[in-house]
Amino acid sequence: MPNLENLRSALGRHIQLDDSAWHAAAGCFKLKHWESGECIFRAGEAPQRLYFILEGLGRYYYLTPQGKERNKSLTRPGSLFACMHSLIANQPSPFSTQALTNNLTACISYRELTHLADSYTAWNHLTRMLLEGLAIKKERREASFLLQDAQQRYQGFLREFGDDAQHYPLYQVAMYLGITDVALSRIRAKMGLTQVKETA
């Protein structure tokens, strides 16, 4: 299936998937389309699948007791939707995930992925990379909030997301940076930026 071949190509940038390892896994992946605004999973659920993003942008977010949303992370093609707390400990997710644009994902159950990891070196390597990548990303995000001001965090966002950065609504970016829309507008004016998408 062409779209699953796109997944193989994307994963091939990180691991060497020979035909044997790929064909063993291809039947485990299911393609899923998500409409803009649709939730992949919600806080309180215990998702047992990982969703590799082939197309589209999205986010992880918390909902405060007062009903306010707080972005935990932003996603793009090549990243994924998953809750390791649910996958590993079978506990409810403390956050929700949502497609910000139409998304196409290739999903696989964590049980199937670990079974593949037990049988194939390439899938073992990928699973380890996923866990390590999430841990590193969490540490970097914590450090940015503790050691950087808002403008430095925004500059880091632009570096990390590259061309994709302009496609996120500014209010979602501001929420991700932990600042108000007005504060982000002031930072952008100071930096002489005017081309980031303003609305969904």
Residue 60's CATH number: 2.60.120.10
Handedness of CA 154, 156, 161, 166 (dihedral sign): positive
Domain co-membership, 137 together with 178: no
Domain count, the chain: 2
Based on the domain organization, do 138 and 67 belong to the same domain?
Answer: yes
**What would the pLDDT profile of 118-175 be if each residue is shown by its tens digit?**
999 999 998 888 888 888 988 999 999 999 999 999 999 999 999 999 999 999 999 9
- Alpha-carbon distance of 83 to 32, in angstroms, equals 18
List the one residue out of 44, 47, 45, 103 whose CA is nearest residue 74. 103
Same domain, 114 and 185: no
106/138 same-domain check:
yes
Q: What is the pLDDT of residue 197?
A: 45
Residues 6+ apart with CB under 8 A from 99: 34, 35, 36, 37, 38, 39, 40, 56, 57, 58
Q: What is the pLDDT of residue 5?
A: 79
Residue 166 shares a structural domain with residue 180: yes
Radius of gyration of the chain, Cα coordinates, nearest whole angstrom: 18
Domain boundary among 147, 163, 188: 147
Question: Do 11 and 94 fall within a single domain?
Answer: yes
181 and 161 belong to one structural domain: yes
User: Nearest 5 degrees, angle CA 141-CA 162-CA 4?
Assistant: 95
The per-residue pLDDT of the chain, averaged, comes to: 91
Domain of residue 198: give its range. 149-200
* Residue 14 shares a structural domain with residue 105: yes
Could you tell me which of 47, 45, 46, 8 has the C-alpha nearest to residue 24? 8
